[in-house]
Structure 1
């Protein structure tokens, strides 16, 4: 993990197209701005984890349905 120290108004670059800007701090809360191309999805980590878990569950469900269909067709 890379650890950087930045002050309000300073930024870091991620690759050539993503800029992360420190907009301010209040107590232990940091306000960040992100400049990125529109095609780049940006989520809070907890939202990303929820989406990923939901997609995995849906994939498992589809895989089980396909397996059940294969099993039934082999029985016939």
Structure 2
């Protein structure tokens, strides 16, 4: 992990087109401004992990439904 120190209104660059700026510091909270192309998705980590879990659950559910349908049609054709 790269650790950088930045002061208020200072930025870091990620690649050529993502800029992260420290907008405010209030106690233990920091407000960051992120300037990135619209096609780059930006989420808080807990939201990102929830999305990944929902996608995984949806795939499992879809697989279960397909298996159930397959079994139904096998029984129906017997």
What's the TM-score once normalised by structure 2's chain length?
0.86
SS in 2 for 1:9: coil
Match in the other structure for 1:11: 11
What's the TM-score once normalised by structure 1's chain length?
0.88
Runs (5+) with no aligned partner, structure 1: none
Match in the other structure for 2:38: 38
For this pair of structures, how many residues does the alignment match? 76
Match in the other structure for 1:71: 71
Larger radius of gyration: 2
SS in 2 for 1:2: coil
Q: State the Cα RMSD in Å.
A: 1.3
SS in 1 for 2:43: coil
